[in-house]
Amino acid sequence: MSHRTLKTLLIMAAIAALCGRAAADKARVVISGATAEIQAFDERQVTFISFSGLAEVIGGVADWKMVGHEIEYVNDTNRFTFVIGSPFFKRNDSVFNMTYLAEFHDGQLYVPAATFIPFFNQVFPQKISWIKDSRTVRVESEYFNVTDLSVSAKANGLLIEIFLTSALAYDIFVTEGNWINVSIRDGRLNTPRIQSRRDSRYMYNLKTHQQKETGQVSIRLRRRVERWTHKIQEDPPRIQISIPDVNFDLVQVDTSPRIGPDDKIDIVVIDPGHGGSHYGAIGPKGSREKDVALDIAKELAKLIRKDKQFKVIMTRDRDKTVTLQERADAANEAQADLFVSIHANSSVKRHVRGWNVFFLAPAKNDSARAVAQFENSAFFRDKFNENPEMDEDNGGSFDDPILNILNEMIMTEFQAESHDFAMMMDREFRRHVRIPARGVDQAGFYVLNMVFAPSVLVEAGFISNVQEEKLLKQKDYRKKVAQAIYNAIKRFKNKYENQ
């Protein structure tokens, strides 16, 4: 082959490559009424979207590890593993084919939108879809029409209620093992919320199953189901199942969560993390987490008091030591409707950035577990002061059976409401706080576990990162964090006060 022929072929190959791929472009992500842009490009009439950008918008924990050309992303209980240059990806232990190759450009992972999003939708807690014509990823939090579950003991038996947005046709059948199954035609289940209603007093197990045209809720009850009645109730729409038994052995109790002592969402407890002898994390330039948290809390208290819709209680309003138990006691004695604990994050990896919002539930990943371990360390210090026999060399273990299992005991009464509150805060942070979004996560925080109200813990940024330490010291940034939290509080009030 001559030099001229080779040169001609190379030019033709370059032209073909340019024709195959359009210049870098954008796609939109629409979530909760807000719109964000992510990187995208077209290649041979296929739109590839930046999954790195999508992860920043929708949350989850992105831990990108370029090992053997693999990249991982973790969302809730699901781990996605992509191989660069391959159409195959793993979701947990299963392998799927998205038809087109995963690509890596300029530090970002790109996936084919039309063929990958349907797989992602199967496990994402909200409806997520790709609209080709408008190049839009749409996340629909209002997509679900089967929204919640309540199980409560009454004087003459058990009452099960499945809440709907409107009346739907359904079937009920009982199977071996005391399973009562409710199959709802055209039902779209809010699976995370329904699953959070599992109550060991009444049931052994609670399962949900979503098919294309049917949603099914299955409850394995603790006693034999011999007879039952059911009907549709209105205001609010719900399927009501009564399992009568004059000898029913449970005490009469209504397990439907009640927020606060009355019908108002008007008492907010603000908890500035650490304080006094507990400095919290320390930044590279010497900034202390306890100071940052207190200043944000004071800015938030100003906003709330100025609006005069809420009563504000602060677990500390100056630099003093307050134990986690004292923080929880202050909230419970005030009969708090909402509890917000404010912190600044830290990592040994100085490049790590971003804000996080946590609610109380078992940790799903090492990152959330590490945050909880650090924030809970004050609890162990308090315990050590009470009993010097505590073994600090063993990571703060303590020969106390209650303490040993505390981290495994997660109060679930307000878990769904706390998750909802965290999601509202997530939306407001994305609008007001212009640093990377690490989204909503969950972990076992002692202070949240002892508060009998919907509760969240906010990490306003990484004080261990030089850039974010500088931001956390700026009054303007702290005001933006406070404004985002306050907007979420008002959102929660508007949604729950009149339920």
SS3 track for 201-233: CCEEEEEEEECCCEEEEEEEECCCCCCCEEEEE
pLDDT at 485: 95
Whether residue 340 contacts residue 296, with contact meaning beta carbons closer than 8 Å, is answered with: no
pLDDT at 449: 73
Burial of 409 (0-12, 13-18, 19+ CB in 10 A): exposed
Residue pLDDT, tens place only, 257-276: 556 556 788 999 999 998 99
pLDDT at 247: 55
Nearest partner of 264 among 335, 328, 333, judged by Cα: 335
The kind and range of the H/E element at 66 are strand 61-67
Q: In terms of CATH architecture, what is 20-140? A: 2-Layer Sandwich (3.30)
Whether residue 311 contacts residue 266, with contact meaning beta carbons closer than 8 Å, is answered with: yes
- The set of residues, in sequence order, having a beta carbon less than 8 Å from that of 77 and lying 6+ positions away, is 364
pLDDT at 398: 39
Between β-strands 355-360 and 455-462, what pairing exists: parallel, antiparallel or unpaired?
antiparallel
pLDDT at 382: 53
- The set of residues, in sequence order, having a beta carbon less than 8 Å from that of 85 and lying 6+ positions away, is 69, 101, 102, 103
Whether residue 59 contacts residue 438, with contact meaning beta carbons closer than 8 Å, is answered with: yes
pLDDT at 252: 40
Whether residue 341 contacts residue 447, with contact meaning beta carbons closer than 8 Å, is answered with: yes
Q: Which residues of the chain are under the pLDDT cut of 70?
A: 1-24, 32-34, 59-68, 75-77, 125, 141-143, 192, 246-262, 361-413, 443-444, 498-499
Q: Answer yes or no: CATH 3.40.50.150 is held by domain 267-496.
A: no
* Whole-angstrom distance, CA of residue 491 vs CA of residue 57: 20
Structure tokens at 383: 């315990």
SS3 of residue 150 by DSSP: strand
Nearest partner of 290 among 316, 325, 326, 329, judged by Cα: 316
Structure tokens at 247: 């000898």
Q: Where in the chain are the domains?
A: 20-140, 146-244, 267-496
Between β-strands 61-67 and 46-50, what pairing exists: parallel, antiparallel or unpaired?
unpaired
SS3 of residue 117 by DSSP: helix
* Whole-angstrom distance, CA of residue 133 vs CA of residue 154: 53
Tokens 């606060």 found at:
260
How many of the other CB atoms lie within 10 Å of CB of 58? 23
- Bond prior to 388 in cis (omega within 30° of 0): no
- Give the distance, in angstroms, between the CA of residue 356 and the centroid of all CA atoms in the same chain: 10
Q: In terms of CATH architecture, what is 146-244? A: Sandwich (2.60)
* Whole-angstrom distance, CA of residue 11 vs CA of residue 408: 63
- The set of residues, in sequence order, having a beta carbon less than 8 Å from that of 446 and lying 6+ positions away, is 324, 376, 379, 406, 407
pLDDT at 235: 80
CA angle 236, 239, 240 (to 5 degrees): 100
Round the average pLDDT of the chain to a whole number and report it: 80
* Whole-angstrom distance, CA of residue 84 vs CA of residue 97: 13
β-partners of residue 240 are 161, 231
Query: Within 13 Å, how many C-alpha atoms sit on residue 250's CB side?
Result: 23
DSSP codes of every residue in 319-353: S----HHHHHHHHHHTT-SEEEEEEEE--SSTT--
Whether residue 491 contacts residue 428, with contact meaning beta carbons closer than 8 Å, is answered with: yes
